[in-house]
């Protein structure tokens, strides 16, 4: 039995949209407010149905070039950075106004490549976005184009959106595109190309359908979308490509509009935990007392109070091994402190951390989202399995 598109969409709790410049900005008239308002309606519809929504939006450069009177055609790096700086203000304002019309708060996040690729910064970006979602805001995310240089850029927001999706354990990534899905060949080049509704796995055959990376269709085209799909689906996020060239494009998916679905391998939370558990080497060990072991097994985070001893040298964001009083490794996790800081605060209550370190750090040594218990220990890895006393649902 095939499930309806509406039910399928409804099954994904945390959803990220990727919105491209061409959908949002018209070269002559600037921002397409009607279209953006229809996106705000779609966000409001999803939120009313209990979804969490994040938006990765391009458009800063396209908006800014008009505002600064830059000529059409290729821009120099510093010109596109200047355009991004001028355009981003307008872009944020537009989301603020459009979502504000539904009583929804928009919050701007600008990321550089290092924010998702370097583990110590990754924890910061993740904690901030997580907090925004908990507070009911919609994060509006873009690359921080003003300072990124070509070597340290994502370059396209398809990939940025996929990295955000895995970092935030999103269940679904919706790429709003100028094309309504994947075809057996680029339809602009091949009139016999046929539409593909479902992609079970991104095989070399599927990659070949996107066309050649060397064509002018590649940048931000199907090749980067398939790249994004590889990142997203390996991280447990389902991906959908659909046309954004209509109003209410997300509602259109629910109503059965044409879209290609790329199946995720596993759930985002289990993929993340598998990645943590699968690290070959760990940088240090945290020796837990019996109370902390029990807390972990019941799905809670590891607090400094439950740590008897810290061994090894590690940095914030490294994978450490968690060892119980009998010396057995019960799990692994991404640690929120450097080893010298962890030494200084082990055994302390969370409220005492600031006085000892001189700054307000995280109250958890290893957050439960960053924790993978060994198979057979404690609760399962599913999002609903964390029944600890904290407010985090994931
Ligand atoms: N970050 C760029 C912008 O806001 C867009 C990059 C892309 O379109 O992929 O203009």
Pocket around ligand 1: residues whose beta carbon is below 6 Å from it? 20-21, 58-62, 84, 142-143, 145, 156-157, 220
CA dist., res. 263 & res. 225, Å (int): 14
378: pLDDT strictly greater than 70: no
What distance in angstroms lies between residue 72's CA and the mean position of ligand 1's atoms? 16
Q: How confident is the model at residue 13 (pLDDT cuts 50, 70, 90)?
A: very high
Q: What is the pLDDT of residues 261-295, one digit of tens each?
A: 999 988 888 877 877 887 777 889 999 999 999 99
Q: What is the pLDDT of residue 56?
A: 97
Q: What is the pLDDT of residues 304-324, one digit of tens each?
A: 999 999 999 999 988 999 999
Under CATH, to which class is 5-266 assigned? alpha beta
In Å, how far are 294, 301, 335, 363 from 368, measured between CA atoms? 13, 4, 11, 12
105: pLDDT strictly greater than 90: yes
User: What tokens were used for 212?
Assistant: 């050649």
| Ligand 1 atom closest to the CA of 157, numbered from 1 | 9
What distance in angstroms lies between residue 49's CA and the mean position of ligand 1's atoms? 30
pTM, to two decimals: 0.82
User: What tokens were used for 360?
Assistant: 């307000």
* Nearest protein Cα to ligand 1, atom 6: 156
385: pLDDT strictly greater than 50: no
Q: Which of 176, 138, 214, 183 is nearest to 21 (CA)?
A: 176
Let me know the angle formed at the C-alpha of 19 by 124 and 121, rounded to the nearest 5 degrees: 10
Pick the CATH number of 273-373 from 1.25.40.10, 2.30.130.10, 2.60.40.180, 3.40.50.1820: 2.30.130.10
What distance in angstroms lies between residue 57's CA and the mean position of ligand 1's atoms? 7
* Nearest protein Cα to ligand 1, atom 9: 156
DSSP for 377-390, written as a single string: SSS-SSGGG--SSS
**Are the C-beta atoms of residues 144 and 112 closer than 8 Å to each other?**
yes
| Ligand 1 atom closest to the CA of 91, numbered from 1 | 4
Ligand 1: residue of 60, 88, 89, 176 to mutate (most ligand atoms within 8 A of CB) is 60
What distance in angstroms lies between residue 385's CA and the mean position of ligand 1's atoms? 37
211: pLDDT strictly greater than 80: no
Let me know the angle formed at the C-alpha of 358 by 356 and 362, rounded to the nearest 5 degrees: 80
| Ligand 1 atom closest to the CA of 80, numbered from 1 | 10
What distance in angstroms lies between residue 84's CA and the mean position of ligand 1's atoms? 8
| Ligand 1 atom closest to the CA of 58, numbered from 1 | 4
Ligand 1: residue of 111, 113, 156 to mutate (most ligand atoms within 8 A of CB) is 156
Ligand 1: residue of 77, 84, 154 to mutate (most ligand atoms within 8 A of CB) is 84
Q: What is the pLDDT of residue 272?
A: 79
Ordered by start, the domain boundaries in the chain are 5-266, 273-373
């Amino acid at each position: 039995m095939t499930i309806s598109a509406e039910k399928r969409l409804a099954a994904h709790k945390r959803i990220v949209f990727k919105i491209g410049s061409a959908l949002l900005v018209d070269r002559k008239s600037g921002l397409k407010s009607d279209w953006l308002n229809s996106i705000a309606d779609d966000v409001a519809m999803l939120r009313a149905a209990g979804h969490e929504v994040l938006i990765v939006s391009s458009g800063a450069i396209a908006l800014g070039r008009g505002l600064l009177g830059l000529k059409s055609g290729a821009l120099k790096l510093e010109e596109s950075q200047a355009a991004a700086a001028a355009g981003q203000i307008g872009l944020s304002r537009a989301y603020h106004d459009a979502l504000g019309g539904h009583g929804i708060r928009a919050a701007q996040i600008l990321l550089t490549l290092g924010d998702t690729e370097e583990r110590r910064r990754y924890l910061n970006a993740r904690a901030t976005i997580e907090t925004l979602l908990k507070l009911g805001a919609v994060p509006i995310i873009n690359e921080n184009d003003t300072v990124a240089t070509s070597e340290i850029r994502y370059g396209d927001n398809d990939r940025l959106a996929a990295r955000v999706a895995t970092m935030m354990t999103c269940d679904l990534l919706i790429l709003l595109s100028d094309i309504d899905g994947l075809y057996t060949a680029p339809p602009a080049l091949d009139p016999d190309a046929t539409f593909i509704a479902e992609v079970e796995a991104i095989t070399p055959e599927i990659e070949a359908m996107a066309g050649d990376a060397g064509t002018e269709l590649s940048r931000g085209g199907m090749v980067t979308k398939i790249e994004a799909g590889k990142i997203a689906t390996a991280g447990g996020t389902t991906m959908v490509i659909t046309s954004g060239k209509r109003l209410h494009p997300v509602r259109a998916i629910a109503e059965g509009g044409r879209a290609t679905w790329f199946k995720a391998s596993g759930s985002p939370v289990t993929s993340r935990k598998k990645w943590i558990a699968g690290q070959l080497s760990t940088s240090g060990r945290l020796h837990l007392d019996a109370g902390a072991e029990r807390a972990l097994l019941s799905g809670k985070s590891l607090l400094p109070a439950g740590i008897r001893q810290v061994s090894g040298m590690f940095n914030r964001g490294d994978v450490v091994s968690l060892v119980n009083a009998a010396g057995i490794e019960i799990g692994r996790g991404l640690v929120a402190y450097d080893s010298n800081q962890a030494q200084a605060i082990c055994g302390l209550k969370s409220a005492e951390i600031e006085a000892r370190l001189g700054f307000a750090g995280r109250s958890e040594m290893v957050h439960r989202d960053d924790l993978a218990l060994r198979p057979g220990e404690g609760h399962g890895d599913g999002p609903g399995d964390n029944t600890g006393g904290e407010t985090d649902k994931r």
